[in-house]
Structure 1
Amino acid sequence: MAGINKSTLARKFAMALSGLFLVLFLLQHFTINFTSVVSPSTFNEISHFMGNNFVVQAILQPILIAGVVFHFVMGFVLEIKNNKARKIKYDKFNGAANSTWMSRNMIISGIVVLAFLGLHFYDFWIPEMIHKYVESHPDDPTRYYDETIAKFTGDPIRTGLYAFSFIFLMLHLLHGFASSFQSLGTKNKYQEGLGGYKSGTSRFIRKFTTAYAVVIPMGFVFIALYHYFNNL
């Protein structure tokens, strides 16, 4: 039993690390995308650098893809093992009274986010690979902004899917981001009463992760809606 517990803790620790890595990438990705709203030329410059830098393309990009795959595979593994290990069924334990919707449905929000990543790869990454390595177009540092807004221009369905997916990402992060710190050993226990935290560090982490979980996904939604409505 001790071995099983250690194994589960190790998986949670590894998943927390991969989750924090993806959170950092998400912030970087949002920062770049937001420049498309305030300065198309800056967006082109950064996108051209990211798309043609050897370290980014040959090292960081494969690491990112591996991190995404690892995080979601580990999430499914933990969900399956938790379901098998749970001895108290929900007809005897009112989970809804002791946990949030987000914490009980991480696998659902995770599947939606995974589906979005598939759409994102289909929409951006695969066309980029074809443009550079299959069709071998000449280098054009100014093409990135026009190609990005073209994805949303006149396409309410794609825009709506992006917005819908980022709302589920927000739900996923509202529980997952804070839980990552707990899995890494940060104290994050509830006080008596509703939602209070014992230490100032825990309260700061909860406020910070909640703000991040709302602001960044909603920022992506804003970017998509901005380009859609700005190009009607």
Structure 2
Amino acid sequence: MSGLIKSSIARKVAMALSGLFLVFFLLQHFSINFTSIFSPDLFNELSHFMGTNPIVQFALQPVLIFGVVFHFVMGFILEIKNRNARAVKYAKYNGGANASWMSRNMILSGLVILAFLGLHFYDFWVPELVHKYVEAHPEDPTRYYHELQDKFISPVRTGLYIISFVFLALHLWHGFASSFQSVGFNNKFSVAATKFAKAFAIVIPLGFIIISIVLHLSKHSH
């Protein structure tokens, strides 16, 4: 870990790899959640599998949590190192001329996403742990859709999710594309990879926004 902190290249590679790992999880998470707007039964089935499979629960989930913590810790370290470097070279540095607003404010969007993850854990992960391990309810494979739907009754809560997904899009717009460069992906496919990353940064957060709105409206239509 000390080597990662001391080496600029190693920090950027570690940041990129952890980000790519989280992007893969984000796609998987979106794929399951998207089924909720057209097939509650399929969503229940997939959620039940993810919520009861021991490999997912006791192997993949801890790895995911570590990945989230690692990515944000490395992000703060990079931000501190970059700010110190800019302070030394301030006379020669014009951030607005050399980098986009988003690239210079990744820490801001990251903090919003971190706050959103706190809300998301409070809404879903903590109640799931309480349901299964504290209150020890018998497993109900049909409960997941209604529990998800209940989280979007409040227009305020739905609005917070939507704002968070907008910041996720901003974070991905720069972060996902730059991660390919950080891991040395500079070849004839790099242009296509960048276009894919930009499209991903729009489509996936927009998809999450649509899910939030549909769930909110569906609950109020009954």
- Which TM-score applies when normalising by structure 1? 0.90
* Pair 1:160-2:148 in alignment: no
The share of aligned pairs that are identical, in percent, is 65
Shift of 1:212: 0.3
Paired with 1:137 and 1:230, the residues of 2 have a C-alpha distance of: 27
The residue correspondences of 1:102-181 to structure 2 (distance < 5 A) are: 102-153=102-153, 155-181=154-180
Structure 1: unaligned runs, 5 residues or longer:
188-198
Question: Which secondary structure state, in structure 1, belongs to the residue aligned with residue 7 of structure 2?
Answer: helix
Paired with 1:94 and 1:10, the residues of 2 have a C-alpha distance of: 25
Task: Figure out how many residues of one structure are paired with residues of the other and give that number.
Answer: 217
Counterpart pick for 1:222 among 200, 210, 217 = 210
The residue correspondences of 1:63-102 to structure 2 (distance < 5 A) are: 63-86=63-86, 87-89=88-90, 92-102=92-102
Shift of 1:121: 0.2
Paired with 1:36 and 1:221, the residues of 2 have a C-alpha distance of: 13
Question: Which secondary structure state, in structure 2, belongs to the residue aligned with residue 136 of structure 1?
Answer: coil
Shift of 1:92: 4.9
Deviations 1:119-177 (A, max 9, x none): 00000000000000000001100000000001002x01100000000100100000000
Shift of 1:5: 10
Counterpart pick for 2:190 among 202, 212, 218 = 202
- Which TM-score applies when normalising by structure 2? 0.94
Answer whether contact 2:47 2:144 (CA < 8 A) is retained: yes
Answer whether contact 2:168 2:205 (CA < 8 A) is retained: yes
* Pair 1:13-2:1 in alignment: no
Structure 1 215/8 Cα, relative in aligned 2: closer, same or farther at 3 Å?
Answer: same
Shift of 1:4: 9.6
Shift of 1:6: 7.2
Paired with 1:36 and 1:4, the residues of 2 have a C-alpha distance of: 41
- Between Structure 1 and Structure 2, which shows a larger proportion of helix residues? 2
Shift of 1:182: 0.8
Structure 2: unaligned runs, 5 residues or longer:
none
Shift of 1:202: 2.2
1:46 corresponds to = 46
Paired with 2:26 and 2:147, the residues of 1 have a C-alpha distance of: 21
User: Which one-letter code corresponds to 1:113 in the other structure?
Assistant: I
Paired with 2:34 and 2:111, the residues of 1 have a C-alpha distance of: 26
Deviations 1:47-99 (A, max 9, x none): 0000000000000000000000000000000110111122332x653322332
Paired with 1:210 and 1:181, the residues of 2 have a C-alpha distance of: 12
1:211 corresponds to = 199
Paired with 1:184 and 1:52, the residues of 2 have a C-alpha distance of: 35
